[in-house]
Structure 1
Amino acid sequence: MNNNSSASKTHVGTPATRILEQIGVPYEIHAYTHDPAVRSFGAEASAKLGVEPHRVFKTLLIKVDDDLVVAILPVSSQLDLKALASAHGGKKAHLAGVAEAERRTGYVVGGMSPLGQRQTSPTVLDMSALDFQRILISGGRRGLDIELAPNDLVMLTNAHVARIARPD
């Protein structure tokens, strides 16, 4: 681990970490100094934490037909909108607007965790997550990631697991 990150299990006070503490799921916190000029949040986390980008997962809020759906996929991939729509039983999908995503989840873009969202939404996790013992997801703010077992993430979000990512 580089000196720009720290791994601990200290309570950092986001809704995502509070959920993990309440349920008692094992996890690690990885914090780093976020550069406000960076817009590729997942790539920044991967680089600053020294973790392969296919093990760092981003959280997107997607409109599938009339539903809002949380998609979780590696930062090294692009979301396959048709695959997500199909996995959710819909026909068309597009990225929700920033204001709508932030209002719905209670998190800022770049710090959107799939855990502890203001309003829960159906969730789809890319099946590549199951290739790893542990993955990283946003901890609920920019510069904060949570490392946990993908099966725990599935349990906590009641996620459907499907192939929704395609290589970038």
Structure 2
Amino acid sequence: MSKATRATQMLAAAGIAFTVHDYVYDPDAQSIGLQAADALDEPPARVLKTLMAELDGKPVCVIAPSDCDVSMKKLAAALRGKSATMMKPAAAERFTGYHVGGISPFGQKKRVPTAIEETAMLEPYVLINAGQRGLLLRIDPEDARRVLDAVAADIVA
């Protein structure tokens, strides 16, 4: 498995420190994020999932702990919109250029408004998808927020 992806290239070009960690991806897992946390022996709150949503019909990126559900109402409020819905998987793949299970907030085809769950900012580091199934990157949450120009807010149900 190549550890160089658009996500890692973007972070390297921005001068952001990170490390790459691989694990055996299970496509049949009920929760990919929880399976990754278990495989890497990390608390689920530190392994963040990347989701794509639509806010008032426009794409947005959501980063939340793997053991939490995102509140669409809170997401809309955090990004100053009226209503949010989850993006269909095929649309998320077309829009980001990544496959579901390997969607990273870094290095997407187009930059979109991004929200990160505020409790993740309290962690010493977080693990976020590196743009490939079975590949996560370990990064300081503030570096992730800053390079994505993300809003840190309460977005979980």
Name the TM-score class by shorter chain: over 0.9
Question: Is 2:134 the partner of 1:143?
Answer: yes
Q: Which secondary structure does the structure 2 equivalent of 1:114 belong to?
A: coil
Larger Rg: 1
TM-fit CA distance, 1:80: 0.6
Match for 1:71: what amino acid? V
Which structure would you say has the larger RCO, counting Cα contacts within 8 Å and 6 or more residues apart? 2
Aligned to 1:119: 110
User: Which shows bigger deviation, 37-46 or 66-75?
Assistant: 37-46
Q: Give RMSD over aligned pairs.
A: 1.1
The question of whether the paired residues in 1 share the 8 Å contact of 2:26 and 2:32 is answered with: no
Residues 76-155 of structure 1 mapped to structure 2, 5 A cutoff = 76-155=67-146
> Does the 8 Å CA contact 1:127/1:163 hold for their aligned counterparts?
yes
Q: 2: CA distance between counterparts of 1:106 and 1:38? A: 22
Picking from 44, 54, 79, the partner of 2:35 is 44
Kept in 1, the 8 Å contact 2:3–2:135? The answer is: no
Once superposed, which parts of structure 1, at least 4 consecutive aligned residues long, lie more than 4 Å away? none
CA contact (8 A) 1:56 1:136 kept: yes
Cα-to-partner distance string for 1:29-58 (whole Å, 9 max, x where unaligned): 110111233242101110100000011100
Identity level (%): 37
**Aligned-partner Cα distance in 1 for 2:17–2:56:** 35
Q: How many residues end up aligned between the 2 structures?
A: 156
